[in-house]
Structures are given as structure tokens and as C-alpha cells.
Structure 1
Amino acid sequence: MLKIKKYGAIDIGSNAVRLLVANVIEEKNKEPQFKKSSLVRVPIRLGADAFVSGKISEANTQRMLDAMQAFKLIMKIHGVERYKACATSAMREAENGEEVAATILKNTDVKIDIIDGKKEAAIISSTDLNQLIESDATYLYVDVGGGSTEFTLFSKGKIINSKSFKIGTVRVLNNTKPENKALFKKVQKWIEENTSDYKRISLIGSGGNINKLFKMSGRDSGKPISYIYLNAQYQFLKKMSYQERISELSLNPDRADVIIPATKIYLSAMKWSGARKIYVPKIGLSDGIIKSLYFNKL
């Protein structure tokens, strides 16, 4: 007997807000299958508020209210039975983050959980990541967001260490060069200290920017991108203007600027860990929310 359940996940990031609707297919004596049904992404750059002025603006609060109302209607149309909304570093660091969450709850009945970096990494790691990890290999998992980046070292199928750093694409764009240099130094130290005892490390990358870079590469699903290719792409993108990235590469306006610092973060992680290739499975916080909801971990 086949059963299909519908779950929703709202990921409130620093660069964009996403709604994922997924079908969970249950069949007797089989593992449940998780299939994406709908993904809606809206470019509300909360990080531009939180990391510059320290608070979410009235304009973006209203946009958030509109987005949550729209998401509720979309989930109603899909017949979603359970959903969860999680906010990351922008809402976490904004001095009025809790206030904005309370306003949204009052006006839309959508409850937003503002989660810390450790919880974010734990939710993401509950995805299908384990299916990608070879039992005898070592991987550095890197999830680049708008406000923070989560690093997790896996070896022989087990988590060795995990750390969240306040280095994200929107934050890098808005910080001064000395601030960014200091942040990159902290990340370098952590990666080098934690990977020094391991050989032949590969990266696993997640986030909208690495997904876009993978798509641009034309690689088959499951095939890695090399350090050499990613570095060449980085140099190519840097030479183009913001307008050229939009008109010639068809990048969304809110992707065309952040893709540069995102690529730099992935390249830096590869350099400091000695990784020569990066795998790009399509997983992220919203996928983790769906699985955590289904297994009652949230």
C-alpha cells in the first residue's frame, strides 16, 4: 500500500527566503522516499539589513509578511500537512529579529524558529549526506550561506568536528577588507588544524551558489568539480562586471554579486584542506527540515 505525505520547509536565509514542498512516499518494507514537489525562492536580502544596520528594516519586514502569507497559500494548495520555518544568521543577529518573528506570527500564524549555527549544521547533516559519503574516505562539508558558513569534517562515515563561522556571501560583500581578512584567517586556522592528519580529502559543497556553479559546469549529476576548473571559473567571473554576469550568464540580480565571495570561500576551503575536487549534491537546510519533520526531530 502506497502512502504519500506532503511536508513544507521554509528556509529564511540572509540572501533569500525559500519554500520547499516535498512528497514523502511510504511503501511497506521500504525506506521512505523524499521527492521535491515545489521550490519557491524570493530574494529578500535580510543580511543587507542585519549585517550593516543591525536590524531588519520596515520594508523587508513587510516583504517577509507578504512572503509568509504567499507561502501559506501555496502550502494550502499543495495540501501540506506539516511544515516548519527556520531562520538563520540574519534574523539571529538582527537586534529586532525576535520582534520581527513575533510580528509575523501575529499576522500570518507562521511561527519562525531562529536557530544557531550548530543547529543549522545538525539539520543539514540529517539530509541524504550519509548516502554520498564513502565509508573509508574523508570529506570536508561546506555549506555557504549569506551570513555564515558551516564546516563539518567527516572521516570513515563519522563526524569528526563541526564549526560555524560568521563568514557568508552577503556579510563579505558588506564588510571591509580587514574584517574579511581576519575572518578568513580564523577559518584557515580551523580547517588546517582539523584536516592536517588526513590525506586525500574531498569537499562536499552545498548552497545556491555552488549549485549554480555546478550547473554552469555542465557536469553530470554525481560528478565532482575540480579545483582547477573552479579557480578558472572564479577568475572568469571576477573579470566580468555585475551587469555582464546578469546579461551574459543569465544570473539573477541577487546571485550575480554573491557568487564571487561564495566561490572564494569554496576555493579557500579546498586550498587549506588540500582537496582537489568538490562534490555538489542538491541538499540544503530546507531538505534537512523536511527529513527532520518526518522523523520527528524538530
Structure 2
Amino acid sequence: MLKINKYAAIDIGSNAIRLLIATVIEKEGYAPQFKKTSLVRLPIRLGADVFLEGKISDVNYERMKDAMKAYSLIMKNHKIKKYRACATSAMREAENGIQVAKKLFDATGIDIQIIDGNDEAAIIATTDLNHLIQDNKVFLYVDVGGGSTEFTVFANGNTITSRSFKLGTVRIINDMVKESIWNDVKSWIVENTKDYDKIEVIGSGGNINSIYRFSEKKVGKPLSYFFLANFYEEVKSLTYHERIFEMQMNPDRADVIVPATRIYLSAMKWSKAKNIYVPKIGLADGIVKSLYNEQKARDLLVK
């Protein structure tokens, strides 16, 4: 007999706010199946407020409130077992971030946890990468967001180290990333990958997922450094409007795709990786996995 439950994750990022509804299917004697049932993405670019003005504007607060009300109704309709809402770089740097979270809770009932970069990296690391992270391989996991990028090194099936940097696409397009940040990232990657002979990169985030769709690769096949470098030159050569019309990109993707590609390419270059895998997972998937694991732990305590 199957045991079926739904969990929800709200990822409040610097570029967009996402709601993931995941169905977890359990059968005794088998590993649980996690199925993405619904994904709703709203391009509320909080980073444009916070990184330039230091706080979330009244206009974007109202948009967030509408989003949380809508997400609450969607979760109710799906009859989810449990949810978690996590806010990352933009809200944790906003001077009114805690105040906005409290106002949103009072207005919508959605409890938002503002997490730091290390927590973000740790949650992402809980995602199911077993089909990629094999005992005899080394990977650099790169999760590019609007406000920050999280890097994790996996070796021999274990997490070796992770680090979050204020290197995000929204920051870059607003000219807020100094060369020293790029140098810090380069130094960290080189230092933490230099002892390994062969490294592959795992990329996550909306931008690398978009690039993967353009590649028309079969699911599971990696993108080469050569492909990514050519893609980078192509998108750089086009104007913002040309990317929207000729490449049919969403307006909120067409500007951040360029800095995102640069980050992935740089990570590959500095780690000397020839390929990047794109499993299409991220913070929301990690939140769902952690919710499920916490529920299983509670069930065991009850027994």
C-alpha cells in the first residue's frame, strides 16, 4: 500500500519567489519517490530594491503580500502536509527584512525564515544527488542566485566544504560586485579543488536550467565547457531585446543570463572542470527533502 503526502517549499530569492509543491510517495521496502507536482515562479526582483536602496520597497512588499496570499491558497488546495518558506540574500540584507517578514506573517499567515548563506548551502546539499555524486568522483556544486552563489565540494560521496559568496546575478547587472569578490571566489575554488585530479561541476538555478533547455541535450547528459563558452559569447553579442525576441527568453531572464553564465564558466575554469551537469534541483528541493526527513524523524519518536 502506498503512503502519499504533499510538501511545499517557498524560496524567496533576490530575483524571483518560487513555490514548489512536491508529492512524496512511499512504499515499504523502497526508497521514497519525490515528484514535482507544481512550480509557480513570480519575478519579484527584491534584489533590485535591497542591493541599491538597502530595503524592500512598499511596492514590492505589496507584491510579496499578494504572492504569499496566492501561495497560501494553492497550498490549501493541494492539502499539503507541511511547508517551509525560506528567504535568502535579499531579505537577510534588507534593513527592514525582519519587519517585512513579520508583516507578511500577520497579513498572510506565511511564516518566513530568513536564512544565512551557510544554511542555504546546507539545505541545498540535502538534495538527492546520489545518481550523480558517486563514491569515486569529485564534484563542485554551484548554485547561482540573484544575490549570492553557493559552492560545495563533494568528494568520495561526502560533502567536503561549502561557502557562500555575495556574487549574484542581480548584484552584477547593477554593477555592485567588485573585482575583489571574483578574486575571493577564484581563490576559494582553486584552494579547495587543487588536490583532485578530475572534477565535474554540478549547476543549479533557473539560469543554468534555461541554458540546458537551449542545448537540447538529453536529460542526464552534461554540458561541455566548450558549449557553455560558445553560449556565453552568443548571449553577450545580443542586446537585451534581441535575447527576448530572438532567443525567446523571459524578460526577467534575458538580463541575468549573461552574468550567470559567466559565473558557471568561471567555476569550471578555476576548478579545471570539462563538464557541467544540470539535475534541475535547488533550494526548494532541499527544503522539501528536509521537511520529509524531519517528519520521518518525528514519526520514529512517536513509535
Q: Distance in 1 between matches of 2:130 and 2:57?
A: 39
Q: Provide, for residues 145-174 of structure 1, a one-character-per-residue CA deviation record: whole Å limited to 9, x for no partner.
A: 000000011111111211100001001111
Q: Distance in 1 between matches of 2:174 and 2:159?
A: 32
Q: Distance in 2 between matches of 1:161 and 1:81?
A: 32
How far the C-alpha of 1:28 sits from its partner, in A, is 1.4
The alignment's C-alpha RMSD in Å is 1.1
Q: Distance in 1 between matches of 2:143 and 2:4?
A: 30
Q: Does 1:201 align with 2:195?
A: no
**Number of aligned residue pairs:** 296
1:96 counterpart residue number: 96
Q: Distance in 2 between matches of 1:137 and 1:253?
A: 38
1:189 counterpart residue number: 187
Normalising by structure 2, report the TM-score.
0.96
**More off after superposition, 191-200 vs 65-74:** 191-200
Matches within 5 A, 1:64-83: 64-83=64-83
Q: Distance in 1 between matches of 2:229 and 2:280?
A: 21
Give the secondary-structure state (helix, strand or coil) at the position aligned to 1:147. Answer: coil
Q: Provide, for residues 33-84 of structure 1, a one-character-per-residue CA deviation record: whole Å limited to 9, x for no partner.
A: 1101000000000000111100000000000000000001111111112111
1:158 counterpart residue number: 158
Give the secondary-structure state (helix, strand or coil) at the position aligned to 2:265. Answer: helix
Q: Provide, for residues 184-222 of structure 1, a one-character-per-residue CA deviation record: whole Å limited to 9, x for no partner.
A: 111001111111111111100000000000110000011
2:215 counterpart residue number: 217
Q: Distance in 2 between matches of 1:34 and 1:262?
A: 28
Write the letter of the residue equivalent to 2:201.
L
2:17 counterpart residue number: 17
Matches within 5 A, 1:271-282: 271-282=269-280
Q: Does 1:238 align with 2:236?
A: yes
**More off after superposition, 154-163 vs 96-105:** 154-163
Give the secondary-structure state (helix, strand or coil) at the position aligned to 1:154. Answer: strand
How far the C-alpha of 1:250 sits from its partner, in A, is 1.1
Matches within 5 A, 1:98-113: 98-113=98-113
Q: Distance in 2 between matches of 1:119 and 1:290?
A: 15
Q: Does 1:270 align with 2:268?
A: yes
**Percent of aligned pairs sharing the same letter:** 60
How far the C-alpha of 1:130 sits from its partner, in A, is 2.9
Write the letter of the residue equivalent to 1:155.
A
Q: Provide, for residues 263-282 of structure 1, a one-character-per-residue CA deviation record: whole Å limited to 9, x for no partner.
A: 00000001111001100001
Gaps spanning 5+ residues in structure 2: where? 298-303
Q: Provide, for residues 88-147 of structure 1, a one-character-per-residue CA deviation record: whole Å limited to 9, x for no partner.
A: 000000000001000000000100000011111111111112331111111100000000
2:227 counterpart residue number: 229
Q: Distance in 1 between matches of 2:129 and 2:283?
A: 12
Q: Distance in 2 between matches of 1:50 and 1:108?
A: 22
Write the letter of the residue equivalent to 2:158.
K
Q: Does 1:59 align with 2:59?
A: yes
2:41 counterpart residue number: 41
**More off after superposition, 39-48 vs 158-167:** 158-167
2:134 counterpart residue number: 134
Aligned mate of 1:257, from 235, 255, 258: 255
Q: Distance in 2 between matches of 1:78 and 1:158?
A: 35
Give the secondary-structure state (helix, strand or coil) at the position aligned to 1:131. Answer: coil
1:173 counterpart residue number: 173
Write the letter of the residue equivalent to 2:261.
T
Write the letter of the residue equivalent to 1:283.
I
Give the secondary-structure state (helix, strand or coil) at the position aligned to 1:7. Answer: strand
How far the C-alpha of 1:14 sits from its partner, in A, is 0.4
Write the letter of the residue equivalent to 1:272.
W
Q: Distance in 2 between matches of 1:238 and 1:116?
A: 32
Structure 1's consecutive aligned runs of 4 or more residues displaced over 6 angstroms after TM superposition are: none
How far the C-alpha of 1:182 sits from its partner, in A, is 1.5
